[in-house]
Amino acid sequence: MDSGNSIEKEWDLEDIEGISLDGVPDLYFFQAQVNDTGGTDNTVPTTADPRSRRSINDKAYRARCKEREKSQKEELEKLHAENASMRAENESLKEKVAMLSPKLEEAAREINQLSRESHSLKRTSDYQAIVLQAFTEKMSIKLSDICLQGGDCSGSHDKYKSLHDEAARSSENVIQDPRMQEKKRLLEERSRLENENRLLELKNQAYFMMIQNDKNPAGDAAD
């Protein structure tokens, strides 16, 4: 080749990357570069050589990795703080459970005592009802015998009615007996204590469930 008409130039492999064999520059060399997130990164100069493009892409990749690492670290710190808060709350719940247990035991003892007293009053009431029924039947039989023996039965109907009314009043007296009123009060108190006991048991179960839920993978990972 004539040195006066042309200038000979040597090309290395990196210089000719992106240039077609026929000497026409590849269009890719002049296009905006597409980043790995799917968007177009126009910060890369269209005239940059391959080595510069690789350097810029590497810097962008390292920046994204650093940002992800920062975000993960913040998330772990947040989870760790939440886990510490949950543990503190669980300790408080354990203390409340320890305080509630004696109350539950005391309520159970009171319920048992009320149950025994209720059974005792029921036996007394049943006994009074039986005595009253026996007394009424006995007086009815006595009046019948008087009539059968030829006695004066003219007023037997009135006497029997009077006896029936007396029996009714006696029944009311049994119901209004102070011991029966005490029985009613004890039954109402027993019902109230049973409801409180069920409520305390439900709270107790809820506390233990919250303590069990504290043992979660997210909390362990935060440690």
According to DSSP, the residues that pair with 25 across neighbouring strands are 19
Task: Give the pLDDT band of residue 211 (cuts 50, 70, 90).
Answer: confident
For the chain, what percentages of helix, strand and coil (3-state, to nearest 5) are there?
Answer: 75, 5, 25
* Confidence check: pLDDT of 174 > 50: yes
Q: In the predicted model, is pLDDT for residue 222 greater than 60?
A: no
Contact 118, 190 (CB under 8 A): yes
pLDDT at residue 195 tops 50? yes
- Residue 26 CB neighbour total at 10 angstroms: 11
Cα–Cα distance for residue pair 105/98, rounded to 1 Å:
12
Which pTM was predicted?
A: 0.31
68: pLDDT strictly greater than 50: yes
Answer whether residue 219 shows pLDDT above 70: no
More confident residue, 113 or 162: 113
Statement: residue 185 has pLDDT above 50: yes
Interior angle at CA 202, CA 201 and CA 203, nearest 5: 90
- Residues 113, 24: Cα–Cα separation, whole Å: 105
Give the model confidence (pLDDT) of 6-49 as tens digits: 444 444 444 444 444 444 444 444 444 444 444 445 454 555 67
> Domain map of the chain by residue range?
103-222
Check residue 25 and report its DSSP letter.
Answer: B
| pLDDT confidence band for 72 (50 / 70 / 90) | very high
- Kindly report the average pLDDT of the chain as a whole number: 68
Provide the pLDDT confidence category of residue 64 given band limits of 50, 70 and 90. Answer: very high
How far is 123 from 119, CA to CA, in rounded Å?
A: 6
Note the Cα 52 to chain centre separation in Å: 59
